[in-house]
C-alpha cells in the first residue's frame, strides 16, 4: 500500500471509521484524509459527526444529504422490482452502498484525491459492495481498506483510537452492530449470534412489538403510478415523505420485523434482525397491484427476474451490465402498474383487502363472473381441453398397453 496522499474516506462517525483517519496517516503515509458522510435519513445529528472527523485528524469533513436520490433512484426501483433477497430481506442496507460509492468517486474527482477508502471489515457484504461499485465507476481508482487489513480486535481498535483522541464508544455495553437509514435498520452480533436465541425487545427501535401494537387495526390505501408509490390514504406525497409515513404507519402496527439466517456474499451464514416497515409494506402493495395489471406471462417472468435483481444488488453489482439489462425489462413492465391497494394493518400483519386500477386493470368482470353477465364461452373449453390434454392422454394410453 501507500502512494496515495489525499484520500476520501467513507465516514459514519463510528469507532472503526474514525480510527481509519489516524491509521491511514500514521501507518500508510496518507497526508490528507477527507471524511465523507451521507445523510440517508438515519436521524443522527450530523454536525457532531462532521466535527468528530476533524478531531480524528481529517483535513476536510463533508456531510451530504443524499436522501432524495436514495429514495428515488434506489428505493423506488427496488419496490418496482419487489426486491427481497432470499425471499425476505428488502435490501435496506445494500441499496445505500452504491449511492455512497457513486458520490465518493465524484468527490474524489472534484477534490483531486488519489484514492477512496472505507472502514468495512473483511467478513461482510458492505466491503464487496463498496469495492465493486468503486471499481465499476472508476476502474483505475485506488481503494484503501485499512479495517480489512489492520488485524486489530475491537479492544485494540478502541485503544488505538484513544491514542489519537478518538473517544471510546459511550455505551460500551451495546453489543450490537447496527446499520440505519430511512429504509430500515439492520442489527447483528451480541446474543443474536446464537440463531436460536429470540431477539430481545431492546434490539428493535422503529417497530412496535406485537404485544404493544394497538388492538385496533387500521385500514390504509397506497396509490401507485408507473410502479412508483405516489400516495397514502389518497394524499399525494413526495417520495421521501411517503416512505417516512409508511414507516410510521406500518411500524406502529408492528409490521416489518424480520428475523432470518442470511447467506453473505463471502460465504458465511449470519443471523440478521431487520426492521423495514415502510419498504416491506410498499413492496407488498406493489406486488399486489402487479397481479391485477400485468399479463400472466409477464408476471411469471418478472417474478423470476426479481430474484436475480435482488441477488445482484445484494452482491454489489449495482453498476453492472445485468442490472442495466434487467432494468430495461422492469421499466417496460411498470408503465402499466397504476392504481390503489387497500391494506389492513393490525398486530404485526399487513393484510391486502382490495386493489383497483382504473387505467390498467386486466381484470374483466364479464369473464370472471358466475352471474348472468357471464360472457365466457363455456363450450370453447371442450376444444381447448381436448388439445391441451392430448399429449398426456396419448402418453397414458401408451403406458396401459
Q: What torsion do the CA atoms of 226, 228, 232, 238 make, to the nearest 10 degrees? A: -110
- What are the phi and psi torsion angles at 33 (to 5°)? -105, 125
Decide: 7 and 144 in contact? Cβ < 8 Å.
yes
- The Cα 386–Cα 191 span in angstroms is 61
How far is 208 from 185, CA to CA, in rounded Å? 14
Q: CA 126, CA 139: separation in Å to the nearest integer?
A: 18
Residue closest to 210 by CA, chosen among 350, 87, 387: 350
Supply the minimum distance, in Å, between the C-beta of residue 187 and ligand ARG: 6
Identify the residue whose cell numbers are 497526508.
31
Distance CA 90, CA 93 (A): 9
What is the CB neighbour count within 10 angstroms for residue 349?
14
Q: At a CB cut-off of 8 Å and minimum separation 6, what does 117 contact?
A: 7, 8, 9, 10, 20, 24, 33, 143, 144, 145, 146
Which residues of this protein are in contact with ligand ARG, per CB under 6 A?
Answer: 93-94, 125, 177-179, 186, 188, 262, 272
Judged by CB, which is closer to ligand ARG: 186, or 346? 186
Q: Which alpha helices (H) appear in 207-360, and where do they start and end?
A: 239-252, 277-293, 296-314, 321-334
What's the min distance (Å) between Cβ of 136 and ligand ARG?
18
**With DSSP H G I counted as helix, E B as strand and the rest as coil, what are the percentages for the chain, rounded to 5?**
45, 20, 35
Shortest separation between residue 60's beta carbon and ligand ARG, angstroms? 26
Enumerate the active-site residues: 16, 97, 126, 177
- Name beta bridge partners: 218: 345
User: Measured from the CB of residue 44, what is the shortest distance to ligand ARG in angstroms?
Assistant: 15
Name the residue nearer to ligand ARG (CB basis): 78 or 341. 78
Q: How far is the CB of 272 from ligand ARG (least distance, A)?
A: 5
Closer residue to ligand ARG, CB minimum distance, 28 or 89: 89
Nearer to ligand ARG among residue 261 and residue 368 (C-beta): 261
User: How many angstroms separate the CA atoms of 240 and 256, rounded?
Assistant: 18
Q: How far is the CB of 177 from ligand ARG (least distance, A)?
A: 4
Give the residue with the Cβ less far from ligand ARG, 178 or 230.
178
What is the sign of the dihedral through the CA atoms of 299, 301, 307 and 308? negative
The residues pairing with 356 across neighbouring beta strands, listed in sequence order, are: 340
Which three cell numbers, joined as nine digits, stand for 306? 426479481
For the CB of residue 68, give the shortest distance to ligand ARG in the complex, in Å.
Answer: 22
User: Closer CB to ligand ARG, residue 39 or residue 188?
Assistant: 188
**83 vs 104 by CB, closer to ligand ARG:** 83
Amino acid at each position: 500500500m501507500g502512494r496515495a496522499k489525499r484520500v476520501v474516506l467513507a465516514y459514519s462517525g463510528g469507532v472503526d471509521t474514525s480510527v481509519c483517519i489516524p491509521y491511514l496517516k500514521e501507518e500508510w503515509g496518507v497526508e490528507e484524509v477527507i471524511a465523507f458522510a451521507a445523510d440517508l435519513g438515519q436521524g443522527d445529528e450530523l454536525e457532531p459527526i462532521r466535527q468528530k472527523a476533524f478531531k480524528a485528524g481529517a483535513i476536510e469533513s463533508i456531510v451530504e444529504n443524499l436522501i432524495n436520490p436514495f429514495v428515488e433512484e434506489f428505493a423506488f426501483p427496488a419496490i418496482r422490482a419487489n426486491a427481497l433477497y432470499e425471499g425476505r430481506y428488502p435490501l435496506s442496507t445494500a441499496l445505500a452502498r452504491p449511492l455512497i460509492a457513486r458520490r465518493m468517486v465524484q468527490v474524489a474527482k472534484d477534490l483531486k484525491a488519489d484514492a477512496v477508502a472505507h472502514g468495512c471489515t473483511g467478513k461482510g457484504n458492505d466491503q464487496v459492495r463498496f469495492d465493486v461499485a468503486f471499481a465499476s465507476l472508476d476502474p483505475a481508482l485506488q481503494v484503501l481498506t485499512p479495517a480489512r487489513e489492520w488485524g486489530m480486535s475491537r479492544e485494540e481498535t478502541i485503544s488505538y483510537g484513544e491514542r489519537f483522541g478518538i473517544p471510546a464508544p459511550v455505551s460500551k455495553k451495546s453489543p450490537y452492530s447496527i446499520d440505519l437509514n430511512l429504509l430500515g435498520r439492520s442489527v447483528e452480533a451480541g446474543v443474536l449470534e446464537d440463531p436460536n436465541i429470540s431477539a430481545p425487545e431492546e434490539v428493535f427501535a422503529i417497530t412496535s412489538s406485537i404485544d404493544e401494537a394497538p388492538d385496533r387495526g387500521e385500514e390504509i390505501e397506497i396509490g401507485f403510478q408507473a410502479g412508483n408509490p405516489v400516495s397514502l390514504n389518497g394524499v399525494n406525497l413526495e417520495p421521501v415523505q411517503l416512505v417516512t409515513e409508511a414507516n410510521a404507519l406500518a411500524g406502529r402496527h408492528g409490521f416489518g420485523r424480520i428475523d432470518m439466517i442470511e447467506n453473505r456474499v463471502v460465504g458465511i451464514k449470519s443471523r440478521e434482525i431487520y426492521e423495514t416497515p415502510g419498504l416491506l409494506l410498499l413492496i407488498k402493495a406493489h406486488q399486489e397491484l402487479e397481479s391485477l395489471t400485468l399479463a400472466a406471462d409477464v408476471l411469471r417472468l418478472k417474478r423470476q427476474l426479481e430474484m436475480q435483481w435482488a441477488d445482484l444488488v445484494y452482491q454489489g453489482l449495482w453498476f453492472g451490465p445485468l442490472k442495466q439489462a434487467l432494468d430495461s425489462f422492469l421499466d417496460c413492465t411498470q408503465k402499466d402498474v397504476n392504481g390503489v391497494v387497500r391494506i389492513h394493518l393490525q398486530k404485526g400483519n399487513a393484510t391486502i383487502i382490495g386493489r383497483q386500477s382504473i387505467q390498467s386493470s386486466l381484470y374483466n368482470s364479464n369473464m370472471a363472473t358466475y352471474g348472468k353477465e357471464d360472457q365466457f364461452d363455456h363450450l370453447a373449453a371442450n376444444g381447448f381441453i381436448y388439445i391441451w390434454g392430448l399429449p398426456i392422454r396419448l402418453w397414458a394410453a401408451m403406458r396401459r398397453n
